[in-house]
Amino acid sequence: MHDMNLRSTHRLAGSACAVMLAATALVTAAPAHAADKVPFNVTGSVVVTDLCAFPVTVSGPLTGWLITSADGTQVQGHAVEQDTFTAHGKTLTSDPYTFNYHARFDADGNVVSEYFTGQVIVVRLPDGQTFRAAGRTNWANVEQDFNTVPDTGSSKGREAFCEALAP
């Protein structure tokens, strides 16, 4: 049994994937058989201070499933996330976006690799622009709970996103 910390990097790869959290969800996977999908549905909230020049509260639901290999050394998952961003009395809501989660563990349960692939974030802004990021995020490289710049892929529109939430 492994405790999986799904954070969209936008989380994020995503959030890249997601864009990665956006919200932080703690998911425990312990399927009886290797092919069992363990569903999850969580809602979380986090205040991020490195997205814009001011704190932004990110909240929202994260739903999906995880599959753990019979020997517990591999976990794969799929998630759909939709985030709400608030600052200075203003609110922006992302489109629902999807990403995949991949992790490998050694025989002692230590993380060997952990990454997200897919959408990190998709937020349509009031001025018609879109804050969007997609690609692959190696979660070992992410120091915060929320990431909107994938290791490979692209991220664009962050400045316009922050302007839309600015005082």
**Strand blocks (E) in the chain:** 2-7, 9-19, 24-29, 38-48, 56-68, 74-81, 84-87, 90-93, 97-105, 111-124, 130-138, 152-156
Confidence of residue 159 (pLDDT cuts 50, 70, 90): very high
Q: Quick one: pLDDT at residue 153?
A: 81
Confidence of residue 11 (pLDDT cuts 50, 70, 90): very low
What residue numbers bound the domain in which 23 lies? Answer: 2-165
The residue written with tokens 């995949």 in the block is 100
Q: Specify which of 17-21, 79-83, 87-91 reaches the highest per-range mean pLDDT.
A: 87-91
Average of per-residue pLDDT values in the chain:
77
For residue 142, pLDDT over 80 is answered with no
Greater confidence, 73 or 86?
Answer: 86
For residue 22, pLDDT over 60 is answered with no
Percent of the chain with pLDDT over 70: 73
Q: Quick one: pLDDT at residue 4?
A: 38
- Please tell me the total count of domains within the chain: 1
